[in-house]
Amino acid sequence: QVPLVESGGGSVQAGGSVRLSCVASAYAYSSYCMAWFRQAPGKEREGVVFMISSTGSTLYGAKVNGRAALSRDDAANTLYLQIDNLKPEDTAMYYCAADSDYTCGMFDPREYNYWGQGTQVTVSS
């Protein structure tokens, strides 16, 4: 079973919103920490938000802080990421990730051991 499957990306005009979904397998969803990352062409993968699963505590990256909201549906093993007021610089492949270790990898992608295939978000001006 694929651990994480993202969906919801697409082409959006600047100022619009996008809601991404990440459906997780049971073992991935039980990870200590889950996160969304994004990667634009030619750039490093960067953290958008991470969540400590047991408490629901979240931390957003500076570039999306105030525009993004993470939510979850535990019954469906699904994580959602909504980003409002999209900007062209939000254009990237967005990935869902899970860190099953006993500490959270936070915004270090090397610490995450489960990844989805990504969903593309393209924001036009």
Residue 53 pLDDT: 94
Residues constituting the chain = 125
Mean pLDDT across 100-121: 94
Residues 79-102: tens digit of each pLDDT: 999 999 999 999 999 999 999 988
9 has a pLDDT exceeding 90: yes
Contact present, 59 and 69 (Cβ < 8 Å) = no
**Residue 22 — very low, low, confident or very high, per pLDDT cuts 50/70/90?**
very high
pLDDT digits (tens, 9 = 90+) for 46-77: 999 999 999 999 999 999 999 999 999 999 99
Calculate the alpha carbon distances from 51 to 15, 29, 46, 89, 104 in Å.
26, 11, 15, 23, 9
pLDDT of residue 47: 98
Evaluate if residue 35 carries a pLDDT over 80. Answer: yes
Strands 10-13 and 119-124, sheet pairing: parallel
Phi, psi of 3 (to 5 degrees): -65, -35
- Take residue 2 and report the two structure tokens written for it: 């694929």
